[in-house]
Amino acid sequence: MTHVSDTCAELIGTLAAGTPLTHEQYRFLFEHSTAEHYQLAAKEARRVCDRHYGRTVFLRGLIEFTNHCACGCRYCGIRAKNTTVRRYRLTDTQILECCQTGYKSGLRTFVLQGGEDAWYTDERLCSLVSKIRAEFPGCAITLSAGERSRQSYQKLKDAGADRYLLRHETADQVHYAYLHPTPQSYRTRMRCLADLKALGYQTGAGMMVGSPGQTPDCLAADMVFLGSFRPHMVGIGPFLPHHATPFAHEPKGSLDLTIFAAALVRLLLPCALIPATTATASASADGRIRALGAGANVIMPNVTPAVGAQYELYDGKLRSGLESAANIAELTAALEQAGYTVPVSRGDFTDTQGGLYV
């Protein structure tokens, strides 16, 4: 092994032993790691995940409840300026039906994900959350509805929401501004994340890998941010271009690098819930299973009805037809075949590291 290669292996070992790296060390890893380091990180990450969660994979039912969006994220297919997308909003009844179908298939977490849709005032969103809470008292409710005020997050929590996913997207401020036009700002994103955690949500951050303008420095900043913010959940997927966005002709993110980044996050945050994301599955047929092999422990089958085909964030987004009970049973069987167990459980975050996540 060369000196550089040795150093990469040593850095992965250091992280696996529980010592976070510095910005420069992460950058070194992202600049110099090769396939053999990717393999080493994946093996270590799986071992760490086994230690904290065993071979368990938690399922969450993903409900893409609205594709109306006021934002201008330059990467995203449902950005406000994309006039070619047919907009939809599920009714409360449709959403409750999704939960019902999911519940019958063994799902105990429902993730309501949508664009930043002003129609969803606090009153309307809280009313929806309360209905789900009343009908499914034993289930976790996760929201992923973008940036809102602290008061709004508080009301939603009071209405029964348990968790909130809001990816930080990039921890490099210049890169953030390149991906998001004003008035969106890094500062607001960070304020929202801090509010969510302070209010007691199980909070999810995360980023795309290979987004336009991303450098090893940006990824290093992501790792440092994740190490200090310590989210309970981290969503990481490759950037995949969408034809009706300013980034239509940008290359897609590398799946290998995405899985490497996810493995490093597992080493950094041993107790985190890390999904094998839809974008990972969309990038390659074996994306999900490879992500699980590198320490991911969550899968989010899409239980949105057919209208959700309009929730097209990027071209080639997987709509695997997991909506039906039969398909969730098939997914479970495939996971069990691969040596994982799939409990009927909310799959809450558990802090076996002793208070580090507070």
Closest approach of ligand SAM to the CB of residue 219, in Å: 14
Closest approach of ligand SAM to the CB of residue 5, in Å: 31
User: Pattern of binders to ligand SAM over 260-289, x per CB under 6 A?
Assistant: -------------------x----------
Closest approach of ligand SAM to the CB of residue 311, in Å: 8
Q: How does DSSP classify residue 309?
A: G
Structure tokens at 43: 């093996």
Closest approach of ligand SAM to the CB of residue 301, in Å: 16
Closest approach of ligand SAM to the CB of residue 121, in Å: 16
Q: Is the peptide bond before 20 cis (omega within 30 degrees of 0)?
A: no
Structure tokens at 320: 């695997």
Closest approach of ligand SAM to the CB of residue 87, in Å: 14
The smaller minimum CB distance to ligand SAM, of residues 237 and 295, is found at 237
User: Pattern of binders to ligand SAM over 40-79, x per CB under 6 A?
Assistant: -----------------------------------xx---
Q: Tell me how far apart the alpha carbons of residues 277 and 264 are, in angstroms, rounded to a whole number.
A: 16
225 binds ligand SAM (CB under 6 A): no
Whether 55 and 293 have beta carbons less than 8 Å apart is answered as no
What lies within 8 Å, CB to CB, of 335 at 6+ separation is: 57, 292, 299, 342
Q: How does DSSP classify residue 185?
A: -
Q: Which stretch binds ligand SAM (CB under 6 A): 3-11, 43-51, 238-246, 265-273?
A: 238-246
The smaller minimum CB distance to ligand SAM, of residues 53 and 88, is found at 88
Q: How many CB atoms lie within 10 A of CB 150?
A: 14
Structure tokens at 264: 């490093």
Q: Which stretch binds ligand SAM (CB under 6 A): 88-96, 119-127, 237-245, 323-331?
A: 237-245
313 binds ligand SAM (CB under 6 A): yes
Closest approach of ligand SAM to the CB of residue 116, in Å: 5
User: Pattern of binders to ligand SAM over 79-118, x per CB under 6 A?
Assistant: ----------------------------------x-xx--
Q: Where are the alpha helices (DSSP H) in the chain?
A: 3-16, 23-32, 35-53, 92-104, 122-135, 150-159, 173-179, 186-198, 216-229, 255-268, 278-283, 287-293, 325-337
Q: How many CB atoms lie within 10 A of CB 115?
A: 26
Q: Enumerate the β-bridge partners of residue 142.
A: 111, 163
Whether 155 and 166 have beta carbons less than 8 Å apart is answered as no
The smaller minimum CB distance to ligand SAM, of residues 279 and 303, is found at 279
142 binds ligand SAM (CB under 6 A): no
Q: Tell me how far apart the alpha carbons of residues 335 and 337 are, in angstroms, rounded to a whole number.
A: 5
Question: Residues interacting with ligand SAM, by CB under 6 A?
Answer: 75-76, 113, 115-116, 144, 146, 166-167, 169, 208, 237, 239-240, 242, 279, 313-314
